[in-house]
Amino acid sequence: MSENFKLGEVVLNVQDLAKMTTFYSDVIGLVKLNETERSAAFGAKKDGEVLLVLEELKNGKTPSSPRTGLFHIAFLLPSREALGDMLIHLVKSKYPLDGAGDHAYSEALYLSDPEGNGIELYRDRPFDDWRVTEDGKYPAVTEEVDIDAIIDAASRAPFQKIHPETKMGHIHLQARDMDKTEDFYSGILGLNVPTKIPTARFFADGSYHHHIGSNNWAGSSLSERLPEETGLAYFTILTSHFLEWKSALNAKGILMDESSSSLKLKDPNGIFIEIREIS
């Protein structure tokens, strides 16, 4: 992973905080770091970084149709063994999976939380095993996962919590305009585009396969999520290029709430982002 870039907390607006807290604690196995009457924060280990925050909306509503926002959050586990432990736990919990995919650089499991937010649980292959095209890109590949091999790699130890080295590996956004999305994340913020197809763009700092994914598979005329609707409130980017990004965004006339340590803004799809300097 890049030393110049990482994802911070992802914040979801939810209807039923108690139900969602139970899911992320018991099914995903995240560690509850703190909670209030209206919110809960989770990480992979005690005293660790916050990966996910749930904020309960008063009289929150489920969107009546697809919105720009979250396609899935993606928790990166450190090994195939850890992914195997998670898979066995999910099977035993009887929580339904939406699918699985081998993307050549990673193996991934997919599911949705009780309010329909997409989740990916994945492990990366060793970098030297990634497929690379002649022009240095990573092909858009989804193949059948070797489920038996993942299970065989599991430690078989009783599942307690998600592996403590788990990180927020990437976030995949439901967008509407791929060209404007690329202009923003690559053209303004300077992220690489390791994989690109007409209906999706993937962005990364350094040589990673992607820190931010985007697609318009739900259509190119999606509306933005309304403040009273559940779903992605915002996600956080931590970067060592904070001042350069601030200058580039100002030069493009992007409206922001600015402070000495953070920028709060919307991307071209109306998705809220908080940018902070990496520590």
Note the pLDDT tens digit of each residue in 26-63.
999 999 999 999 999 999 999 999 999 999 999 999 99
User: How confident is residue 227, by pLDDT bands cut at 50, 70 and 90?
Assistant: very high
Number of domains within the chain: 1
Note the pLDDT tens digit of each residue in 64-95.
999 999 999 999 999 999 999 999 999 999 99
Over range 153-168, report the average pLDDT.
97
Contact 165, 81 (CB under 8 A): no
Domain that holds residue 228: 5-277
Q: What's the mean per-residue pLDDT of the chain? A: 96
Note the pLDDT tens digit of each residue in 116-130.
999 999 999 999 999
* pTM for the whole structure: 0.97
Say which residue the tokens 């959050």 belong to: 73
Strands of 5-14's sheet, edge to edge? 31-35, 39-43, 52-56, 5-14, 231-239, 272-277, 262-266, 256-258
Report how far residue 27's alpha carbon sits from residue 35's, in angstroms, rounded to the nearest whole number: 18
Three-point CA angle 255, 217, 147, nearest 5°:
120
Which H or E run includes 194? strand 192-197
User: How confident is residue 3, by pLDDT bands cut at 50, 70 and 90?
Assistant: confident
| CATH number for 99 | 3.10.180.10
Contact 102, 140 (CB under 8 A): no
Say which residue the tokens 């956004």 belong to: 173
Give the pLDDT confidence score for residue 279 in this predicted structure: 76
Note the pLDDT tens digit of each residue in 173-211.
999 999 999 999 999 999 999 999 999 999 999 999 999
pLDDT at 229 over 70: yes
Report how far residue 25's alpha carbon sits from residue 43's, in angstroms, rounded to the nearest whole number: 10
Classify residue 62 by burial, with Cβ atoms within 10 Å: 0-12, 13-18, 19+. exposed
Give the residue from 124, 92, 94 showing the smallest Cα distance to 108.
124
Report how far residue 257's alpha carbon sits from residue 238's, in angstroms, rounded to the nearest whole number: 16
Instruction: Give the pairing of strands 39-43 and 52-56.
Output: antiparallel
